[in-house]
Homo-oligomer: A and B are copies of this chain.
């Protein structure tokens, strides 16, 4: 799965979700998968951004490299639970997690926060 491409689509008009429907998922299942995908992407982004290897993050998580790989691949055997824990272990705040799921595009194109912030 190439994240770059997916992100392009997201930024453009939203395509990723349609893949799930194509697979015969209900809208609810699709939404759930989207949540997982969003979190797995964010996890990978944070990890690489911090120059960590999967093995390092795994250690921090008390898990294994293979599991981290599956997390980032949004493998079916990975739950949102684990992804959230992984994000937290990678230092993500609740805010970041929330934004990853429902937030506006994580693209850094925008200079200001969605909402007025820092004094």
Contact = CB atoms under 8 A, between A and B. Distances in A.
B28 A88 contact: yes
Given A32-B84, A80-B81, A94 B104 contact: no
A55 interface: no
A88 B1 contact: no
Nearest to A113: B104
B115 A85 contact: no
A51 interface: no
Interface string A30-44: 011011001000000
Interface residues of A, number: 29
A45 B114 CA distance: 25
B62 A31 contact: no
A85 B1 CA distance: 10
Contact of A98 (B62, B84, B89, B100): B100
A97 interface: yes
A94 B28 contact: no
A96 interface: yes
